[in-house]
Structure 1
């Protein structure tokens, strides 16, 4: 049976509605305006009671923010505008008509909106796929992310509420997730399922003014970032999702819709307990008496305690990060030189052992530094046990001599120590200091090279899309020639060929010296073979024509590029490295 309008099921509910003042406080507690003038926020609307309550409150807040009358508490409220996105999954008969009906309701509330239709791959019954729920989630968020990006919207509001949060925690508990998972849905958070989409996933905030036109001669083809810049620009931005209803129950959302006399649309498949894990959990809560430890209040209290613990730990980690000495950060090659803080400096003299949580704090510190360099999207704390032993021996050693550091690899990053020399150690006044470590991207494994190759799709004289190369560089290319282009890792066999081609330049001596200097000082040893190369494919042969991160090209090549380093997740580290020369 298809969805039906619901306006009568909860007419007798005594539950109090959510006021616009409550909603504004919940939103502004997490969301901070970024621009001057009017801000536009996106709304993810399904047509269900949760999202229609969100639309109703946003409509009121939009009117209030644009009026000249404010209460003292709202005196700082800036003009707001909301743009709703209605996702039509196209899997049920009548879904398109329902989306249009939702659109008309929103228009009646002065909420501008558009309908986004998922284009499914052509295959059998999608609903029967074992991963259907995760596929639908991925397609939905990618549609929402691109729609927000195209309209210059950086913030997307979701209608997840307190009951959803409790259900999420129970599902994660059943799946055996640890403390981080049991904190529940984050507010705010980066938009999920959009890895690698420029302007949506952790990018799009760095803006370059384009000058001139694309009809250029080979001699006037520098990359758009000035060659005089020592470092590549570092990306910022990305779309954030906010969940202002996480401290409101579903019953209050229903009461809000009833009080506002706004229609909503019920999808009966959401009540079928055998279709999804969440439906099964909802069925249990609705039809069974749950143990006290698994009640919604108990799960929400657990989440709150874990979030408080995580917040305190994060504060400690950020404090220790400021004590780590980053002496070098080469965005062009992804090299970091760092001397990690000595965590024993915080211990009381009478304590022979480190505090209980020190090992976990050490792992968090290490993860933040690793994220400067690694190509991986996520770094699991559980994978860093051996790395913590190497970097923070004070956490694991109780007295005795500090071990000699050795090179190792962790989470896709190669750690190479610069140890103190034997002569330094034998100096009478020698005071032990932790070694400086050189961090770089782990050398490629032979079986991973094909997965990194990118076929640059670009119409001649037009910019390609942005590619997230190897999880480290955002690159786009403008091909002004006729041969197809590829992005691939630079490899040892290409070095001699590239050097010989540079020797054909008019200033061949200067070009060769520049190449040698760049490789020696910025990309020593195997680091150079983790860099992106632009290749020309012609007659079945691939020829290297540029190393974009080093701003090196063969003479006369008809190509230009923009390249930026990935966004740095830690704001503490981002502020520090942005000030480095």
Structure 2
């Protein structure tokens, strides 16, 4: 351990420490301060030199922001004067894998407290009896448990931004690992400076949720962005007075060190007299893939194409290409037209842009580029209603041929469009009648599409069981049902409640138990807003007593039988990343 420390210190002697001005500029490139009040950042601290350099700079920044000295530090002005009223909360994750790790975590905590940074130690719990380090997927499990600990800790303290200390050398290792894994251009672009927190899918208040009604500026009325529909409010003629609220929020991670080398972070700790701790497992090449790559760079001659400058140049080129493609895509997204979006039934009707115009585009040439644009338009639309966490445009080749015949069938006079399913979404062509008896799609040579959740397979029906409580005023925790709806319930009595898809066998009894006015409303809703198989994708709250399950509520439709014994609150999944809604101009 001492030899490693001496080597790192020697490497840092020729490197310059990172200044607070540089650090604040790097942070402000991605993060936008709140307009009012103060901002609190979470810090992911391991005790190593990287995260302790992060803590040292954040401590300085916190002192400067609290004293309103925004003019200079060591002769360099702070960026823009926007970083005021900042506080930092450090989270020290004790993986519990090494003897003395708890003592080390306490030592790190004391150091940070001495620098004016609040700290909290998070103890990782490993399920099972097997030694964690011996598990074949140890590295991925540790990553998942670590981010979930950090995410929940941030949520519980109302923190929405988490800083990580990944640096330039980490970026190189990441790209090499992805290169070895055969990843494509997106993966080889490397880590992004900011993103939603990973490994936390389905955790409310952490994964793309928790901001609705809690954070100013996150409750967006999308009605101003659509011609005929509103996501906050029902479309004209809808049987719903108001649509489901749209979730907002979620924890964002930021990596302000990606442009700084590890040597500069070591120099920062040395200059600031910040102590750090070495984890001996980080230098064992057989422990993890990253350690093996690190060992390779440190102890072997590397081909020119795999040197650090070459890998960083590759990452930069691919990031620039992705940014250029994003600029190309935006006007085509703007040409797509959402006709209406029903969050209560999870359906969207829209017309896609006519990609025949690509033949005259100066920015794109050839069918490959046109097919890429088509796939991206589909991916953005699919994300509005899919139950899946991720949608890859690489899986949409068949869908492109169906929706954009001008791309897949260039030169053909006609192409019969039929319904199909992809990425968990059912695409159905809609032919709108024309007053003169023709159809609008024939006149305009474009077909509108209705998108809904694909019908469930009988072998797999999602079932969400709610926890019970003897307190009738107790609300269950929030759950993500079917990847589309956030829901929580409040119930009284001993009955068990769960959510599953609406089934034909339960509908008749439910309808018979409704009040007369609700019976008529249900009939109209199913006929107008949830026709065909769409109705069998609606969430249904079931009450289970003595082994018998009874349908008591359709929560997204705001319908329930009298004395159902349950209350609920429901929100639609966050959709703010969909460029179809113009949300690229919206920042939380």
TM over 0.5: yes
Asked if residue 144 in structure 1 is aligned to residue 150 in structure 2, the reply is: yes
Structure 2 residue aligned with 1:179: 185
Please say if residues 160 and 250 of structure 2, whose CA atoms lie closer than 8 Å, have aligned partners that are also in contact: yes
Q: Please report how far the alpha carbon of residue 558 of structure 1 lies from its aligned counterpart in structure 2 after TM superposition.
A: 2.1
Looking at structure 2, the residues matched to 359 and 332 of structure 1 have their Cα atoms a distance apart, in angstroms, of 32
Looking at structure 1, the residues matched to 441 and 268 of structure 2 have their Cα atoms a distance apart, in angstroms, of 73
Asked if residue 65 in structure 1 is aligned to residue 65 in structure 2, the reply is: yes
Q: Please report how far the alpha carbon of residue 427 of structure 1 lies from its aligned counterpart in structure 2 after TM superposition.
A: 9.2
Asked if residue 77 in structure 1 is aligned to residue 83 in structure 2, the reply is: yes
Asked if residue 245 in structure 1 is aligned to residue 257 in structure 2, the reply is: yes
Please say if residues 329 and 577 of structure 1, whose CA atoms lie closer than 8 Å, have aligned partners that are also in contact: no
Asked if residue 327 in structure 1 is aligned to residue 334 in structure 2, the reply is: no
2:357 counterpart (329, 345, 349)? 345
1:543 counterpart (529, 550, 553)? 550
| Structure 2 CA distance for partners of 1:420 and 1:527, relative to 1, 3 Å | closer
Looking at structure 1, the residues matched to 122 and 361 of structure 2 have their Cα atoms a distance apart, in angstroms, of 62
- How do 1:213-252 and structure 2 match up within 5 A? 229-252=241-264
CA deviation profile, 1:9-48 (whole Å, cap 9, x unmatched): 4444221111111111111111111351210000000000
Looking at structure 2, the residues matched to 160 and 529 of structure 1 have their Cα atoms a distance apart, in angstroms, of 46
TM-score (norm 1): 0.91
Looking at structure 1, the residues matched to 47 and 522 of structure 2 have their Cα atoms a distance apart, in angstroms, of 59
| Structure 2 CA distance for partners of 1:358 and 1:352, relative to 1, 3 Å | closer
Looking at structure 2, the residues matched to 263 and 576 of structure 1 have their Cα atoms a distance apart, in angstroms, of 44
Please say if residues 18 and 253 of structure 1, whose CA atoms lie closer than 8 Å, have aligned partners that are also in contact: yes
Q: Please report how far the alpha carbon of residue 319 of structure 1 lies from its aligned counterpart in structure 2 after TM superposition.
A: 1.9
Asked if residue 400 in structure 1 is aligned to residue 412 in structure 2, the reply is: yes
Looking at structure 2, the residues matched to 434 and 428 of structure 1 have their Cα atoms a distance apart, in angstroms, of 8
1:472 counterpart (467, 484, 489)? 484
Please say if residues 380 and 579 of structure 2, whose CA atoms lie closer than 8 Å, have aligned partners that are also in contact: no
Q: Please report how far the alpha carbon of residue 329 of structure 1 lies from its aligned counterpart in structure 2 after TM superposition.
A: 0.3
Bigger drift between 398-407 and 278-287 goes to 398-407
1:293 counterpart (305, 311, 314)? 305
Structure 2 residue aligned with 1:126: 132
| Structure 2 CA distance for partners of 1:400 and 1:138, relative to 1, 3 Å | same
**How many residues matched?**
555
Asked if residue 519 in structure 1 is aligned to residue 519 in structure 2, the reply is: no
Looking at structure 2, the residues matched to 331 and 324 of structure 1 have their Cα atoms a distance apart, in angstroms, of 19
Structure 2 residue aligned with 1:220: none
Structure 1 residue aligned with 2:227: none
Please say if residues 443 and 529 of structure 1, whose CA atoms lie closer than 8 Å, have aligned partners that are also in contact: yes
Looking at structure 1, the residues matched to 440 and 526 of structure 2 have their Cα atoms a distance apart, in angstroms, of 38
Bigger drift between 261-270 and 424-433 goes to 424-433
Please say if residues 474 and 563 of structure 1, whose CA atoms lie closer than 8 Å, have aligned partners that are also in contact: yes
Please say if residues 49 and 264 of structure 1, whose CA atoms lie closer than 8 Å, have aligned partners that are also in contact: yes
Looking at structure 2, the residues matched to 42 and 377 of structure 1 have their Cα atoms a distance apart, in angstroms, of 25
Structure 2 residue aligned with 1:563: 570
TM-score (norm 2): 0.90
Per chain length, whose mean CA-contact separation is higher, i.e. which structure has more relative contact order (CA < 8 Å, sep 6+)?
1
CA deviation profile, 1:498-540 (whole Å, cap 9, x unmatched): 11111xx3xx2x1210110111112111111111111111011
Looking at structure 1, the residues matched to 82 and 135 of structure 2 have their Cα atoms a distance apart, in angstroms, of 49
Asked if residue 377 in structure 1 is aligned to residue 389 in structure 2, the reply is: yes
Q: Please report how far the alpha carbon of residue 419 of structure 1 lies from its aligned counterpart in structure 2 after TM superposition.
A: 3.2
Looking at structure 2, the residues matched to 388 and 140 of structure 1 have their Cα atoms a distance apart, in angstroms, of 39
Q: Matched residue of 2:277: which SS?
A: strand
Structure 1 residue aligned with 2:54: 54
Please say if residues 7 and 264 of structure 1, whose CA atoms lie closer than 8 Å, have aligned partners that are also in contact: no
| Structure 2 CA distance for partners of 1:124 and 1:108, relative to 1, 3 Å | same
Please say if residues 6 and 265 of structure 1, whose CA atoms lie closer than 8 Å, have aligned partners that are also in contact: no
Looking at structure 2, the residues matched to 362 and 232 of structure 1 have their Cα atoms a distance apart, in angstroms, of 30
2:449 counterpart (427, 433, 437)? 437
1:528 counterpart (520, 527, 535)? 535
| Structure 2 CA distance for partners of 1:554 and 1:144, relative to 1, 3 Å | same
Looking at structure 2, the residues matched to 407 and 130 of structure 1 have their Cα atoms a distance apart, in angstroms, of 43
CA RMSD of aligned residues (A): 2.7
Bigger drift between 416-425 and 263-272 goes to 416-425
Please say if residues 5 and 265 of structure 1, whose CA atoms lie closer than 8 Å, have aligned partners that are also in contact: no
Please say if residues 59 and 116 of structure 2, whose CA atoms lie closer than 8 Å, have aligned partners that are also in contact: yes
Q: Matched residue of 1:377: which SS?
A: coil
Q: Please report how far the alpha carbon of residue 575 of structure 1 lies from its aligned counterpart in structure 2 after TM superposition.
A: 4.8
Structure 2 residue aligned with 1:267: 279
Please say if residues 5 and 263 of structure 1, whose CA atoms lie closer than 8 Å, have aligned partners that are also in contact: no
| Structure 2 CA distance for partners of 1:458 and 1:427, relative to 1, 3 Å | closer
Please say if residues 432 and 439 of structure 2, whose CA atoms lie closer than 8 Å, have aligned partners that are also in contact: no
Q: Please report how far the alpha carbon of residue 465 of structure 1 lies from its aligned counterpart in structure 2 after TM superposition.
A: 0.5
